[in-house]
Structure 1
């Protein structure tokens, strides 16, 4: 629904509702998978996640909306190369994303990547976009 992988949701859970606020850690991808699949009696998230989930989903939505508003002018500001292709930075790792956007440190790169792809698809400006992965 949000365009996030299980691993990315685990990162965001660790960021927004750490089990131990003094030592926040991401929730593992396998744990999120067990919650979704109901494997071995682990069919639902623990109370601390369940209680916070509506707020988490709202916060993720707010971040995605803010990025969508920001990425349109960002994309329009990129100049095409000699072949007329606009090169859009996307990020292979969360670390590379945090280096490029320090204020977004802790958020997964996929949230940016998703925003720029959706925005480029929605722009009707006749330009050709290429998404370049940055390590």
Structure 2
């Protein structure tokens, strides 16, 4: 049995390297689609998943589970490795920075408003 998804041919038994290559191809396609305004990413991703789903319906349950284990596992792995958006990039402000900003605001209010009202 030989089937093709997006130009990738899968034989029987399934080769993990082929499944991983398909996951990387789909991730690359999604990354490129981000820059095209005419493409709705939700629909695009659903179309990819639909093609994968249609293919896996032809597999026996054990092969289907193996396919998804490699495919989903690789997509999760490469989604975590994103050098452009590291995990700590959205950590927010530190407590120290907030206190510095509040101290500067307090100094401005004191010297700009309170001192003029008192004198």
Q: Which has the larger radius of gyration?
A: 2
Structure with bigger helix share is 2
